[in-house]
Chains A and B, each alone.
Chain A
């Protein structure tokens, strides 16, 4: 034992040395480093989870935006369709109104023309009758009673009217 150097005193010294190193390294190396590694692991885990969450949120909001856009497009199409319908209706109405007004105007014009014509005819007739009376007076030179005369002419005219109609 002596020849390879086993020495109880030295052995105890080395044992104490080792225990001191054990304590020192535990305090200065293993504990803080493991704590830091744990902390970092927790942090990484947390941030990964957060990233996942954000990703999910993003995709969800993207989907929402897409849905909103789709809805807006549909709505727009509906509005356009409605508008074009309304425009058609308005056009149709305008057309109808114009036609009606035109009809009214034409009718009014026709009536007026007719009235005018009738008036002209009546005027012509009276003129003609007066002329005839004047002529007849001139011809027969005889002053017939105006009233009698008038009746006579009217009779003739009546006759002529019936004649015309025949």
Chain B
């Protein structure tokens, strides 16, 4: 009882403290100070959020520019490698904690993939889909750590001094999202071609069989059927072209979905921190955690679904769609 009372009193104190912090933050923030007409000393002011879409250069190594996003993606890779290397270095049948964690990660992804693609192809999809998921989610969650976006230097350009953070959320670099999208696209198309056969895979788009039927019909003297099949055949080719275009559009949608969501999240956090420096941004951090998970899930899941579509023969799928 005593312990409970003590902890509840502590909770109340903590609540009051947080509320006070929120109020202070509101007052010294730009909103409150403008509203209440208070001059806030400059050391309490948070810099105006500066939105810059391209990543900023941090180092130059020879002719190569290392940007802050590239740096944080290296950290992501290093962390993922180290964690899972440690987890699987000494594999045991009865796993320790770290190995259990790695097993839960792999098994969870594997079961998800298996549910979508079936037993046969799950092992082909796991490395690609799993890597995309782990890369995106680690990039997103690492960027929520305070070190990201806060440690940096001032660069004096023509617009005045600009703060350049040493580390920036890797997912907010369009080059990164584009690189994953290109990889996913190549994986999907190559997988489709190798699994179904290159000619059959391309035929899956255009469905040349109808056109061939038309000419076979003409040869046999079925004029009426020839025209309907001819029309259908050309329609199929048109649909095929559309579908090929849609495959390429996937790259763009992949790229901008992740880039847009992550950049928006970062700007949201920046703006919230600028407006109310303390406390108010915390719920948004929770939201960004969720968004990071969701975006990783969406990127990996869509790659998986497109891959499964590429692997399933097109004719059956088409037949299902027409009925």
Contact = CB atoms under 8 A, between A and B. Distances in A.
B180 A18 contact: yes
Interface residues of A, number: 33
Nearest to A21: B77
Contacts of A6: 174-175, 178
Interface in A23-71: 24-26, 28-30, 32-37, 39-40, 43
Contacts of B107: 33, 37
A14 B127 contact: no
A14 B70 contact: yes
A19 B55 CA distance: 21
Contacts of B88: 28-29, 32-33
B134 A5 contact: no
Interface size band for B: 35 or more
A18 B73 CA distance: 9
B77 A24 contact: yes
B17 interface: no
A11 B176 CA distance: 7
A21 to B, nearest CB: 5
A25 B70 CA distance: 19
A20 interface: yes
Contacts of B161: none
A74 to B, nearest CB: 51
Most buried by B among A7, A13, A19, A34: A13
B73 A10 contact: no
Contacts of B110: 34, 37
Nearest to B93: A40
A28 B178 contact: no
Contacts of A20: 77
A11 to B, nearest CB: 4
B80 to A, nearest CB: 7
Contacts, number: 116
Interface in B166-213: 173-176, 178-180, 182-183
Contacts of A25: 80-81, 84, 127, 130-131, 134
B248 interface: no
Given A24-B80, A33-B106, A9 B173 contact: no
A37 B106 contact: yes
B246 interface: no
A7 B135 contact: no
A110 B23 CA distance: 143
Contacts of A35: 91
A43 B180 CA distance: 38
A162 interface: no
Given A24-B80, A28-B81, A36-B93, 16 more contacts: A6-B174, A10-B70, A13-B64, A14-B175, A17-B179, A18-B179, A21-B76, A21-B131, A22-B131, A25-B127, A25-B134, A28-B88, A29-B87, A29-B88, A29-B106, A36-B103
- Closest 9 interchain pairs by CB? A5-B54, A14-B179, A33-B106, A15-B179, A32-B88, A10-B175, A29-B84, A11-B175, A14-B176
Interface of A: 2-7, 9-11, 13-15, 17-22, 24-26, 28-30, 32-37, 39-40, 43
